[in-house]
Structure 1
């Protein structure tokens, strides 16, 4: 059981631990880890008041061309246009091999493009860095997801385009 760690009430995430030392973070994680074979995905956000949204959603919401928040169709179209532009400019290849749409999107996200994927890491320390350093004047949050079944798709290449169309 986690000892001597304060909790704080948040609007989006309810009651959360607010550790003041790294050792307390490790204690919390150890207390919830359970099965050591489980896989965790981590996300660090620099502001605890932020909802978990993709950068594409945030960008489209900021543009506010619509009365409603961006729909999945709007985000899909936005990302499809992004892919078409990237393919048109010849960036869909790496080391002479054609990238799948998914790999290309991941690469674009790594270089700062706004897409529908949400950044997570298997490394808790990477996520913790984002929680602590991306908004130093705010209170960040470290989120962890227990993934006991990743459906076996990890490492399997996608042969078709992300949207079911070829390029």
Structure 2
């Protein structure tokens, strides 16, 4: 995985033009591995990794048994990827990793609350879509074959925690938050290894993953530009919680001092 340190916001904008069609994930600390909330939780609190598949399956089962009380359309729980998406949306640890098709949305999530080097991970989704990148351990497992939107595939290819593969995409029905964020999900087949290690096991002539480091020095300029682009918590989380969170950035924005190119 190539790592590139960006010195200023203009350089980041220029770099993004060369990554057309890729997917992006922003993380506020460049030292963090590219891991799901489920991976981080289990690594911290469940030492016996042999128990992980059963623990994850039980968590999904409990959510399905109880979430119908709060849903206008409980049938959504029958769709495996939609169910995981709901869990993720409301704060449950899942194996999903949130990515976005917008490098600028990823930059917002990386920089909004950071006080150190932040990072954006760029994933070559065009290569994975074309199946020009295949897992060496199971080259027959194409993106279509793995599709967790197909009934039974989540359990068959992912919950066993045995297939060193990834799939990316969205549920058949996208909620407002996913639409607002230009979001997509990456679903790893194993949860005890970070994403870059899984992709190291892929056969590909193309670069599959890049790490872009954003130093604190560019945060102020970047946040002003993102604000002008209407990339804020209020736009990315279209509800009252998003509006309330967006007020923090308003504390930084002093209109008379804003000048283009600053």
TM-score, scaled relative to structure 1:
0.69
Distance 1:90 1:131 in 2: 31
Show the counterpart of 1:107.
86
How far is 1:17 from its partner? 2.0
Which ranges of 4 or more aligned residues in structure 1 deviate by more than 6 Å?
Answer: none
**Greater helix share, 1 or 2?**
2
> Which of the residues 3, 24, 36 maps onto 1:42?
24
Is residue 83–residue 101 contact of structure 1 (8 Å, CA) maintained in 2? no
Q: Number of residue pairs matched? A: 140
Q: Aligned ranges for residues 133-148 of structure 1 at < 5 Å?
A: 133-134=112-113, 136-148=114-126
How far is 1:147 from its partner? 1.4
Is residue 43–residue 127 contact of structure 1 (8 Å, CA) maintained in 2? yes
Change (3 A) 1:85 1:112: same
Q: Deviations over 1:82-136 (max 9, x none)?
A: 11111221439652524312210111111111111111111222211111024x2
How far is 1:51 from its partner? 0.9
Structure 1: runs of 5 or more not aligned? 1-12
Show the counterpart of 1:28.
15
How far is 1:152 from its partner? 5.1
Is residue 44–residue 127 contact of structure 1 (8 Å, CA) maintained in 2? yes
Change (3 A) 1:90 1:147: closer
SS at match of 1:143: strand
Show the counterpart of 1:158.
150
SS at match of 2:87: helix
SS at match of 2:120: strand
> Which of the residues 51, 54, 62 maps onto 1:85?
62
Distance 1:51 1:156 in 2: 24
The alignment yields a C-alpha RMSD, in angstroms, of: 2.9
Is residue 26–residue 120 contact of structure 2 (8 Å, CA) maintained in 1? yes
TM-score, scaled relative to structure 2:
0.46
Which protein, 1 or 2, shows the higher relative CO under an 8 Å CA cutoff with sep ≥ 6? 1
Distance 2:15 2:94 in 1: 32
Is residue 75–residue 116 contact of structure 1 (8 Å, CA) maintained in 2? no
Structure 2: runs of 5 or more not aligned? 130-142, 157-262
